[in-house]
Amino acid sequence: MLKFLLVCTLAVASRAELTEEEDVLVLKKSNFEEALKAHPDILVEFYAPWCGHCKALGPEFAKAAGTLKAEDSKVRLGKVDATEETELAQEYGVRGYPTIKFFKGGEKESPKEYSAGRQADDIVNWLKKRTGPAVATLAGVTEAESLIADNEVAVIGFFKDANSDDAKVFEKAAEAVDDIPFAMASDDAVYSKFEVTKDSIVLFKKFDEGRNTFDGELTKENLLAFVKSNQLPLVIEFTEQTAPKIFGGEIKSHILMFLPKTSSDFQDKMAEFKKASEGFKGQILFIFIDSDVDDNQRILEFFGLKKEECPAIRLITLEDEMTKYKPEMDSITAESIIKFCTLFTEGKLKPHLMSQDIPEDWDKTPVRVLVGKNFEEVAFDPSKNVFIEFYAPWCGHCKQLTPIWEKLGEKFKDSADTIVAKMDSTANEIEAVKVHSFPTLKFFPAGDERKVIDYNGERTLEGFTKFLESGGKDGGAPAGDDDDLDAEDLDDVDEGQDEDSDGEGYDEHDEL
């Protein structure tokens, strides 16, 4: 009996470890497996208490948890303080905050990455799609009205025959969309209520024109393209909540208008911007950024802008390599924006490369100071071996490297054929080198071949010296080689994430 009581006590104590805060399970390494046994389907946020993005997500995450709990859903939401539960964070590859993963069916090994927006509705819809039928069945007008009222965007397929070929295509498309609810209606009253006279697919939304009706050959690909083209507003404001939708979509060309909301002509400028957007739907995302918001200052820096220079327009492509474009005219009118975007879509624009002015004493110090305007002539001087640190002023790893780099410059300052240099890559851009993390170290050997060699050795004075004395062989690798990263390299990548040097966006995560 004593043994039985002890086992029961231990079991109760184990279950007691699963505490909640605002309907969100508080998870730790000690109770993680217990949580998965008790609640097989859990969406887990790995966060840091100091992370601004996590603080913004917190209320929405709690709201989503409360919604699911009120609906008696078996799906739960949990959170892990990754700064305390470091083993758990490391086990699931957490490299930035917040990281959100979905554990389904009690499986611990391979959770699904959360891929939708950061508002409560986005979270709930994504989870319902992951755990329930891809297409809900609407029994009548009331259910249809509720679906539309409860969601920013919803897609309804009006099919008299739920087993028709078109209805099956609709279901296939629904399975591929995580963040928008799909439903099917066949009742005459629903057709009548929404003025649908024949089988149709309608996207309902709480912005712009309110609804869009699919037109064309019904294939899964065409329907998905229709949804992606219409699910975002013509002009979307960049915020913590909208960032995942902006960066997660298939439209990788974004035009940004930096403008303070407090500006007296704010509404006029927005009207011009929106008018211009109508002709580029599905090609270019039109994004507004409030230049007065403190959290947006890093984005301004990324584009080489200051608050006093706003309003301003910039265009960026987020393909394999990030490319920025700047209009020749400063005026913000529908006409000027349309002209700028048309030149871009026709491939007639040249990338805008930022550059500081050349400092008067750029070559007077042991470590030469390079900017965009003098990079080519120095780095590709055929008579010189040039070793360059591409850095960011705010980067902690760059600051740690500074004294070593200065000693290296001092050691080679009298060399006739070797130059040690540095360039602030947040204020200077060049075509020859795309910087993806800080610091990035590259060697440009003498000769006419314009070779570039990545430095992959130890970041010590001895390591740098051996590298230079070996002509870039000891510790070097051809530029672009994807060697395995060690722990220090991973930190460097994360150090660059806020500046979005990984090419994913212009401000999406807090660094580790």
CA distance 5 to 17: 19
At 8 the pLDDT is 47
Residue 372 exposed, middle or buried by CB count within 10 Å (0-12, 13-18, 19+):
buried
Determine which one of 8, 310, 341, 398 is catalytic.
398
CA distance 208 to 201: 18
pTM over 0.75: no
Residue type, 135: V
At 506 the pLDDT is 62
Q: Same domain, yes or no, for 342 and 240?
A: yes
- Residue 422's CB is within 10 A of a number of other CB atoms, namely 23
Taking a C-beta distance cutoff of 8 angstroms, is the pair 299, 507 a contact?
yes
> CATH number, domain at 462?
3.40.30.10
Is residue 75 domain-resident? yes
Q: What is the largest CA-CA distance in the chain?
A: 88
| 434: its two tokens | 């795309």
Q: Same domain, yes or no, for 373 and 341?
A: no
Half-sphere exposure of 132 (CA within 13 A, CB side): 16
Our answer to whether residue 395 is catalytic in this structure is: yes
Is residue 354 domain-resident? no
Determine which one of 8, 54, 310, 341 is catalytic.
54
Q: Same domain, yes or no, for 110 and 145?
A: no
Cα separations in angstroms, 1 against 6, 7, 8, 12: 9, 10, 11, 17
CA distance 200 to 218: 10
Cα separations in angstroms, 430 against 127, 341, 353, 452, 506: 43, 23, 6, 14, 18
Q: Same domain, yes or no, for 383 and 310?
A: no
Is residue 291 domain-resident? yes
Instruction: List the strands of the sheet with 367-370, edge to edge.
Output: 367-370, 418-424, 385-391, 440-444, 453-455, 476-478
Q: Same domain, yes or no, for 204 and 106?
A: no
Domain boundary (296, 313, 346) is at 346
Residue type, 462: E
Is residue 264 domain-resident? yes
- Say how far residue 469 (Cα) sits from the centre of its chain: 41
Domain boundary (229, 245, 277) is at 229
Write the CB contacts of 307 (distance below 8 Å, at least 6 apart in sequence): 260, 291, 292, 297, 300
pLDDT in tens, the chain (512 residues): 444 444 444 444 444 478 999 999 999 999 999 999 999 999 999 999 998 889 999 999 999 999 999 999 999 999 999 999 999 999 999 988 899 999 988 888 889 888 788 889 889 988 988 888 889 999 999 999 999 998 999 999 999 999 999 999 999 999 888 779 999 999 999 999 999 999 999 999 999 999 999 999 999 999 998 998 898 899 999 987 788 778 877 788 999 999 999 999 999 999 999 999 999 988 899 999 999 998 888 888 888 888 888 999 999 998 766 788 999 888 899 999 999 999 999 999 888 888 889 999 999 999 999 999 999 999 999 999 999 999 999 888 999 999 999 999 999 999 999 999 999 988 888 888 878 788 999 999 999 999 999 998 899 999 999 999 999 888 756 554 433 333 233 233 333 333 333 334 665 444 44
Our answer to whether residue 398 is catalytic in this structure is: yes
Q: Same domain, yes or no, for 124 and 147?
A: no
CA distance 152 to 144: 14
155 pairs with which residues across the strands? 182, 203
Does residue 439 have a cis peptide bond before it, meaning omega lies within 30 degrees of 0?
yes
| 190: its two tokens | 């629903």
CA distance 190 to 481: 58
Q: Same domain, yes or no, for 166 and 180?
A: yes
Which three-class secondary structure state does DSSP give residue 288?
A: strand
Write the CB contacts of 188 (distance below 8 Å, at least 6 apart in sequence): none
Residue 289: its H or E element? strand 285-289
CA distance 55 to 158: 41
CA distance 394 to 398: 8
- Say how far residue 52 (Cα) sits from the centre of its chain: 15
Domain count, the chain: 4
Domain boundary (82, 113, 129) is at 129
- Say how far residue 341 (Cα) sits from the centre of its chain: 23
Is residue 68 domain-resident? yes
At 424 the pLDDT is 93
| Helical packing angle, 487-495 and 396-411, nearest 10° | 110
CA distance 254 to 366: 41
Is residue 420 domain-resident? yes
What's the domain range around 455?
Answer: 368-478
Q: Same domain, yes or no, for 185 and 110?
A: no
Q: Same domain, yes or no, for 267 and 312?
A: yes
Which three-class secondary structure state does DSSP give residue 306?
A: coil
Determine which one of 8, 51, 310, 341 is catalytic.
51
Q: Same domain, yes or no, for 474 and 376?
A: yes
- Residue 58's CB is within 10 A of a number of other CB atoms, namely 18
Taking a C-beta distance cutoff of 8 angstroms, is the pair 129, 177 a contact?
yes
Taking a C-beta distance cutoff of 8 angstroms, is the pair 299, 315 a contact?
no
Is residue 95 domain-resident? yes
Is residue 107 domain-resident? yes
At 479 the pLDDT is 55
Please write down the long-range contacts of 105-109, taking CB distance under 8 Å and 24 or more positions apart: 105/40, 105/41, 106/36, 106/37, 106/40, 107/36, 108/32, 108/33, 108/36
Residue type, 203: L
Four-residue CA torsion sign, 486, 488, 494, 495: negative
At 96 the pLDDT is 85
Q: Same domain, yes or no, for 341 and 400?
A: no
Q: Same domain, yes or no, for 106 and 166?
A: no
CA distance 500 to 438: 11
| 375: its two tokens | 């990079």
CA distance 424 to 367: 13
At 488 the pLDDT is 32
At 489 the pLDDT is 33
